[in-house]
């Protein structure tokens, strides 16, 4: 019994140390829209967060609204929406693009990453497929630490803007899951595996319509 308790204690300490490390090494990269002075970002990266009835979830809608605000403030000339479109009957990226277009973002300035199946995949592909060097990542604050840590591990110069605009249902569960997710991606960042899908290089400085599967 003592050995089991010791193992549980050691595991708990490791969880705490790794989570503290990820948060402490990335928190200074979280910035406010009003404090953005440099306008040399390649793009704004919006990470997927679920859809229902072909509409963005409240969490995803807030990410998109934040990206629109950044774009309108000329923080970056392009927006990269990265989400799950592995199967035809679930299409985060087209929902995201349609929402942006309905709110005045030109189609050619929206790039679609159809293979953003996880935070790690989305950020890895931002650098390797879309050839971005300096980006703003938009997601809720609890998720920014891990996202920025992944970016740092693959030498992607990234800053984060929080899209937390309201209280979300089941947020406590997400916070708990995020603790484990940080451990998972901490280990992934040590190994640096390729994402589930790669594909041809599509430079972010081109025309986003090239990534639109409906054109």
- Give the model's pLDDT for residue 46: 98
Burial group, residue 93, by CB count within 10 angstroms (0-12, 13-18, 19+): buried
Question: Contact, 48 vs 93, CB < 8 A?
Answer: yes
- Give the model's pLDDT for residue 48: 95
- Give the model's pLDDT for residue 86: 83
pTM of the model: 0.94
| For residue 88, pLDDT beyond 90 | no
d(CA 84, CA 33): 27
CATH entry 3.40.50 includes domain 2-211: yes
Where residue 15 falls among pLDDT bands split at 50, 70, 90? confident
d(CA 29, CA 1): 43
Residues in contact with 66: Cβ distance below 8 Å, sequence separation at least 6, in sequence order: 33, 138, 161, 162, 163, 165
- Give the model's pLDDT for residue 111: 98
Give the residue from 123, 158, 175, 178 showing the smallest Cα distance to 26: 158
Helix 2-26 vs helix 171-191: crossing angle, to nearest 10: 90
- Give the model's pLDDT for residue 60: 98
Determine the distance from the C-alpha atom of residue 1 to the mean position of all C-alpha atoms in its chain, rounded to a whole number. 42
């Amino acid at each position: 019994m003592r050995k089991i308790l010791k193992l549980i204690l050691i595991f708990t300490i490791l969880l705490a140390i790794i989570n503290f490390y990820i948060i402490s090494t990335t928190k200074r990269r979280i910035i406010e829209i009003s404090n953005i002075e440099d306008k040399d970002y390649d793009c704004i990266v919006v990470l997927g967060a679920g859809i229902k009835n072909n509409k963005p979830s409240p969490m995803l809608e807030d990410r998109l609204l934040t990206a629109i605000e950044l774009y309108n403030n000329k923080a970056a000339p392009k927006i990269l929406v990265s989400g799950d479109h592995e199967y035809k009957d679930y299409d985060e990226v087209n929902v995201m693009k349609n929402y942006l277009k309905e709110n005045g973002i030109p189609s050619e300035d929206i790039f679609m990453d159809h293979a953003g199946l996880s935070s790690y995949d989305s950020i890895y592909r931002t650098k390797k497929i879309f050839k971005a060097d300096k980006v703003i990542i938009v997601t809720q604050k609890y998720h920014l630490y891990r996202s920025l840590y992944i970016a740092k591990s693959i030498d992607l110069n990234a800053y984060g803007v929080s899209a937390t605009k309201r209280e979300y249902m089941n947020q406590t569960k997400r916070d708990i899951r995020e603790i484990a997710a940080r451990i998972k991606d901490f280990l992934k960042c040590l190994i640096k595996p390729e994402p589930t899908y790669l594909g041809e290089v599509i430079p972010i400085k081109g025309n986003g319509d090239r990534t639109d599967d409906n054109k």
